[in-house]
């Protein structure tokens, strides 16, 4: 099957475009492909970890946390942002991992899939933003009523796994770009 047999404009563009090792928009900069491939992959995985963690915490505390409780609003907004990141970065990572100008039909399919995923990422992102905006008046009043300092540095060890995922994604991206 050739790209001309496929009615996809994306497949036709890949078939008629330059035979590059990465999408032509990278303009031959291999280091930029590595950064994007590693970044999109790592951020997708870390955001998925956050989304799953938020769901588990939400489920575990569903009897205690009401829908209008600040913690629930915080979890749902964070979940929405995480899912938006998973969808957007995941779609980009998949299209970069599967870039193959020798198979324009498959490459075109992944490029088109990415564009179909974008509206869902926007929907989740705007939902999270809307929740934060709509709850801000009540949240600010609640936080000013009973404030307590948050020591974020004490939670720094929690970033070991995400950092490891980032390093492993970078190594994998370097390997893929170097061997294409």
Range of the domain at 118: 30-145+165-179
Q: DSSP state, 19? A: -
Q: DSSP state, 151? A: -
Tally of domains within the chain = 1
Tens-digit pLDDT profile for residues 156-178 = 888 888 899 999 999 999 988 88
* Assigned domain for 19 exists: no
pTM of the model: 0.83
Tokens of 72: 């629930």
* Percentage of the chain modeled with pLDDT above 70: 95
Q: Which of 172, 180, 135, 151 is nearest to 40 (CA)?
A: 172
* Assigned domain for 3 exists: no
Whether the Cβ atoms of residue 44 and residue 90 lie closer than 8 Å to each other: yes
From residue 150, alpha-carbon distances to 46, 143, 154 in Å are 22, 12, 9
Give me the mean pLDDT over the 59-76 stretch. Answer: 86
């Amino acid at each position: 099957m050739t790209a001309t047999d496929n009615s996809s404009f994306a497949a036709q563009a890949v078939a008629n475009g330059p035979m590059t090792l990465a999408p032509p928009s990278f303009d031959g900069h291999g280091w930029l492909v590595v950064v994007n491939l590693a970044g999109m992959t790592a951020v997708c995985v870390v955001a998925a970890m956050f989304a799953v963690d938020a769901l588990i915490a939400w489920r575990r505390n569903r009897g205690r946390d009401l829908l209008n409780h600040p913690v629930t609003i915080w979890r749902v907004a964070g979940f929405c942002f995480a899912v938006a990141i998973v969808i957007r970065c995941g779609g980009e990572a998949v299209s970069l991992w599967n870039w193959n100008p020798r198979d324009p039909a498959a490459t075109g399919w992944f490029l088109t899939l990415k564009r179909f995923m974008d509206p869902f990422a926007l929907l989740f992102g705007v939902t999270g933003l809307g929740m934060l905006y709509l709850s801000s008046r009540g949240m600010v009043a609640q936080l000013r009523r009973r404030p307590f300092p948050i020591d974020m540095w004490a939670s720094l060890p929690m970033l070991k796994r995400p950092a490891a995922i980032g390093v492993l994604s970078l190594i994998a991206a370097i390997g893929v770009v170097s061997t294409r």
